[in-house]
Structure 1
Amino acid sequence: QIGDRAGVGTTFNNIGGIYDSLGQYPKALEFFQQALAIRQQISDRSGVGESINNIGLIYSRLGQYPKALEFYQQALAIIKPIGERSGVGNTLNNIGFIYSHLGQYPKALEFYQQALAIREKIGDRSGVGESINNIGLIYSRLGQYPKALEFYQQALAIIKPIGDRSKEGTTLNNVGGTYYNLKQYVNAERNLLAAVEIWESLRPGLTDESKISIFDTQEFTYRLLQLALVAQQKTNQALEVAERGRAKAFIELLASRLSPDLQQQNLESLQKKFIINLEQIKQIARTQNASVVEYSIVSDEDLYIWVVQPTGKVEFRSIALKKSLNTSLAKLVTSSRESIGVRGRASIEIEPVDDTAEQKKQLQQLHKLLIDPIANLLPNDPNSHVIFIPQGELHTSIVFFDCVHSLE
């Protein structure tokens, strides 16, 4: 109303930032573009550079990396001449991120190093730690694990004293992953467990400075820690980690429906309620007089299965998915559901399907993968109880285990 064009542009930009944080990327793009139009009209060079960078960020979120790169390069050309060194460092880092996702690692390394040089000059300690971590990530992707480890350790030494818990957890995850690749499983376990403890201390729903959810990294940490433990034959500890990861995901889901204040107040009580140890799992099996079957998809190549019997005895099986499947597990589950006429994830109505041969083939393949490896551990009495605890895409397969079992 008062004609404050600069203020309008800033407010459009802020609204775009909120939609970005909410994951509503088309809406974010709409407001960032409106902010850009106003800033161009009033010749706000710094604001124009910021808006173009933000538009690139949204295209990056959407996985449209070439388009994101185009906008980042435009932003860099605008903000570099006007001396916006912090913005230049951030944009160089963003360009490095794009080249990394495009698999152009030497180019990514070049831009991460440029970002590091600027951040060091302006005393941006958090940014310096981030850049060093990113350089380590590139060396890791190039298979140069000792060099990657050197950079991760440098990053950790910078990030830890400034109290950036999110970045500390991410870097510990990367250190643990590098030790795993070096087959130093004890060191991998130690660092990954430290990362897990950080994830569980953070408020649910926390996002980092770039507004990217850290939960994908968190979930990866739990899975990688299971791999490191199983490599040491610590299968019972791996079961507890699988349960912790599952509980963390559930707490995140619950927290997403609470206000920030309630999230903080309820974090400790939620974790006490939902994170359970092996003895508690055994107690459930005993009190329910049931066999507890827990699945964990730890990678594209590995599926872990634990069976906790009413006696408290725990048995472990590891399934090599690539040897057992000629497709992904997710695709097999989807096609198996469709073969019996179950179309939607939440659907319990089954439509008639004519191709019974294909139905049988799909379900038997799923049975071979999920039930055959543990068949000798399951009770023979049809009245006995079995509690299945699935993960990820397996949530949609449990509903028709009875159908699968009848095809034996």
Structure 2
Amino acid sequence: MSAGGRRVAAPRGTRDVLPPESSLRQRVIDVARDAFERYGYRRIVTPTFEETGLFLRGVGESTDVVRKEMYTFEDGGGRSLSLRPEGTAPVVRAFVQHGMHKQPLPVKLWYAAPMFRYEAPQAGRYREHWQVGAEAIGSDDPLLDAEVIALLDGIYRRLGVPGVRLTLGSMGDAESRGPYRERLMEYLERHRGDLDEDARARMRLNPLRLFDAKDPRIAEIMREAPKLLDHLSPAAAAHRERVLEALGRLGIAYEEDPTLVRGFDYYTMTVFEFVSDHLGAQSAVGGGGRYDGLVEGLGGPPTPGIGFGAGIERIALALESAAEPPAEGIDVYLAVPDPALRLDLLPVLERLREGGLRCDSDLRGRSMKAMMRHAASLGARHAVIVGPREHEAGVATIRDMERGEQRQVPLGDLVQELTG
């Protein structure tokens, strides 16, 4: 495509999604939607952009997402707006704004939507990427934590995502984090001289963020740092044990990771991440956790919650690494060699589609031989041929494109013949 003589392309860090990948990604959404509905979740759609303050308050000023990765702009009215970088804060904002705490709790919501982050593009990670996600707001029961984890685990299993493992941690509660933060700050102060300016800024805002640092030098320092899992309050420890017990009853294997902090400041208590061994170093395919203070932090009543987000591109990449994508094709190709009959046969084509069949036909005035080549290129299972002789007799010839076998059936019986 060109404009003014210059070739134009998608912006760097974004990409077009073409068939057959688009079908694979749609399958991810369809499987997820079915799972969400079986668990009692209802779909929510939030705006693509929100007031920037939502993410400052919700996601946290110490996170890389807010500090470095948001697409923020000023609108015509002078308001600071940002493209949605993640899904939880907008859903919770909608929960608060629309008084959903008055509904029977927990309120269970799911979404499939694009997210936007200015980060280095790489395989399966783009500046515009899609997520499916779920939020269960209104219960602090640890069995809900296990149910949410089981929901995402089931989606991966049904899709057949290869090499998936669950890692589990805890961000504790307020009683845990106060004393723990003091111990961590004491440790980091002893290593202040080894921290760069960015790490010292994170240390001031939220020292736990340093466990998420990608710099190998910082990671080496944090390897010996005290871990929050070793300093949980009695209530947080009991919550964690109940979650682990429930996962055991469900037969869901997990690996404990005391350094797992996830990317956002709103997390409390249970945090989890699913990784795939088929994705190399950047192995995460989804994760989430509790955010028991987020609703209140965004102006609502004290209300606990838990949720997750899963990257559709990451899931699709893992699936593609394991096997060939499923072959695409259509069910029926309607071949009408006489152009004068095409108008009369439009209702036949629509009846086939209404019967649930994927159908196409010639729209370029091809010869019969060329139509058969076109049908084969579209992966058609059957060709339905209606020439002047068939039309006059009220019949159609059905050709099995794989076997080459043909049979004639009344036009009125086509749907039954092709779906039976």
With the length of structure 2 as denominator, give the TM-score of the two structures.
0.25
User: Which structure ranks higher in relative contact order (CA pairs < 8 Å, sequence separation ≥ 6)?
Assistant: 2
Structure number with bigger Rg: 2
Greater fraction of residues in helix: 1
